[in-house]
């Protein structure tokens, strides 16, 4: 007989990394998501957070969350469909719709649940979900949960996308789903070209603004603002509230009738407890701060450009990034983990990324500087990075991690 738990006992890669002292995951932070954090009493410069605008520890965000807890408690004890829908949730949806320039919005408990729920609600039997090969895992999982078929096209390759759309033909419903900003390498989807192909072949377009909200566009309103696009060009915009919006949750914005439909058939919303009131209040506060303090976005980009210039001066491969997400491409898994460990030992917190999160032989150290990092912190981190890179990249890899 086959034991379903056998795969668990045969899973050894994480233990190998632990035994080798280069296991980088599940670190226990003892402080808030600030430019500097504490782990086991030691200070680290935080270069591994998606807290792009530095709002996760902003006093106004904390105050909004605390007030919500005082007035609404710690949770709603049910789904929004039944007893969990508060005035805070409705206010947040109105603000999100206005922020994105759409008629209506729908809020989920997490960004992952949002993609599961929205995609599986819209893509049915006989329909096709068309995705970029580097789209986020939650997008692909949402497609798998749907009753439609999945087609993938080569990353940012418009010729391949057109071929896919043309092959499907006009008799099927088609939803093209793409990340506005790709989370690992920081490049931007060519949304105007994608939109044009969708219109040509009768497809609808959904753009995930998880890493674009608060980052792209003069006001930080996302990918559509960055390209000067409207609801005529992008049918549905979705995203998470765990990056620039500095809390947790997911959202979808679009035409009122589309949002109304999804609201009533999306299983991951109907059958999940609602976003905690404290999160709803904090996200609404974040939207207000982004709209009234555009200098945060300017500082984020200024810090990112400074890092990028210094990395390039070091001769490092930073890929095709066009955003504050900076990939330092190493290529070899073991060297990537070893570099992460040396950076960590010297007080710099970063994220090692290996396949399948990135293509094979494309392993990298993902670096992000936030709007609240000081120039002194950036220089200190860069000096650590330069010293560690010189030591690690000279070493020959063993067969430990492939």
Question: Domain for residue 217, yes or no?
Answer: yes
Q: What is the CATH number of the domain that holds 352?
A: 3.90.1150.10
Q: Which of 49, 138, 146, 183 is catalytic?
A: 183
CA distances from 339 to 13, 66, 205, 287, 315 (A): 18, 40, 39, 37, 16
Last residue of a domain, one of 292, 317, 334: 292
Give me the domain span that covers residue 99: 59-292
Q: How confident is the model at residue 399, as a pLDDT?
A: 35
Q: Are residues 236 and 314 in the same domain?
A: no
Does 36 have pLDDT greater than 70?
A: yes
In a domain, 335, yes or no: yes
- Domains in the chain, number: 2
User: Exposed/middle/buried for 293, CB within 10 Å: 0-12, 13-18, 19+?
Assistant: middle
Q: Which of 247, 263, 292 is the last residue of a domain?
A: 292
The model's pLDDT over 263-320, given as tens digits with 9 standing for 90+, comes to 999 999 999 999 999 999 999 999 999 999 999 999 999 999 999 999 999 999 999 9
Q: 328 and 273, same structural domain?
A: no
Strands in 25-156 per DSSP E:
36-39, 42-46, 104-108, 128-132, 149-153
pTM: 0.95
Closest CA to 301 of 329, 283, 327, 325: 325
End position of a domain, from candidates 263, 292, 321? 292
213 with 154, same domain? yes
pLDDT tens track for 229-241: 999 999 999 999 9
> Which is catalytic among the residues 243, 299, 335, 373?
243
The yes-or-no answer on residue 243 being catalytic is yes
> Residue 360 above 60 pLDDT?
yes
Co-location of 286 and 304 in the same domain = no
Whose structure tokens read 């039997």?
125
- How confident is the prediction for the chain on average, in pLDDT? 95
33 and 139, same domain (yes or no): no
Domain of residue 235, CATH code: 3.40.640.10
Q: Which entry of 95, 100, 174, 211 is annotated as an active-site residue?
A: 211
Averaged pLDDT for residues 93-106: 98
Asked whether residue 39 falls in the same domain as residue 64, the answer is: no
Cα 297 to Cα 213: distance, rounded to the nearest angstrom = 10
Asked if 129 and 233 sit in the same domain, the reply is yes
């Amino acid at each position: 007989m086959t034991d379903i738990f056998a795969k668990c006992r045969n899973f050894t890669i994480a233990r190998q990394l632990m035994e080798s002292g280069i296991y980088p995951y599940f670190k226990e932070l003892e402080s808030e998501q600030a430019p500097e954090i504490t782990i086991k009493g030691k200070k680290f410069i935080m270069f591994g957070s998606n807290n792009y605008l530095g709002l996760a520890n902003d006093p106004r965000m904390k105050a909004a969350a605390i007030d919500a807890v005082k007035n609404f408690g710690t949770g709603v004890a049910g789904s929004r469909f039944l007893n969990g829908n508060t005035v805070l949730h409705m206010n947040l949806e109105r603000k999100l719709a206005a922020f994105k320039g759409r008629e209506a919005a729908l809020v989920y408990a997490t960004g992952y649940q949002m993609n599961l729920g929205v995609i599986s609600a819209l893509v049915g039997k006989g329909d096709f979900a068309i995705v970029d090969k580097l789209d986020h895992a939650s997008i692909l999982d949402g497609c798998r949960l749907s009753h439609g078929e999945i087609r993938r096209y080569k990353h940012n390759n418009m010729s391949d996308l057109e071929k896919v759309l043309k092959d499907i033909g006009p008799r099927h419903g088609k939803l093209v789903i793409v990340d506005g900003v790709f989370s690992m390498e920081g490049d931007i989807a060519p949304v105007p070209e994608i939109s044009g192909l969708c219109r040509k072949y009768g497809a609808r377009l959904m753009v995930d603004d998880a890493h674009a909200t608060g980052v792209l566009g003069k006001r930080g309103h996302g990918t559509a603002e960055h390209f000067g696009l409207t609801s005529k060009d992008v049918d549905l915009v979705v995203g998470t509230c765990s990056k620039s919006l500095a809390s947790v949750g997911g959202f979808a914005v679009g035409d009122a009738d589309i949002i109304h439909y999804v609201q009533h058939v999306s299983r991951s919303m109907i059958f999940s407890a609602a976003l905690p009131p404290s999160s709803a209040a904090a996200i609404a506060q974040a939207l207000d701060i982004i709209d009234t303090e555009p200098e945060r976005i300017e500082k984020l980009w200024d810090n990112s450009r400074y890092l990028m210039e210094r990395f390039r001066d070091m001769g490092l491969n930073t890929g095709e990034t066009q955003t504050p997400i900076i990939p330092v491409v190493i290529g070899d898994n073991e060297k990537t983990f070893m570099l992460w460990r040396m950076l960590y030992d010297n007080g710099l917190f970063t994220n090692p990324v290996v396949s399948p999160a990135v293509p094979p032989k494309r392993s990298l150290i993902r670096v992000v500087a936030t709007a609240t990092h000081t120039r002194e912190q950036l220089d200190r981190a860069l000096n650590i990075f330069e010293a560690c890179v010189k030591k690690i990249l000279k070493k020959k890899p063993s067969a430990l991690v492939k």
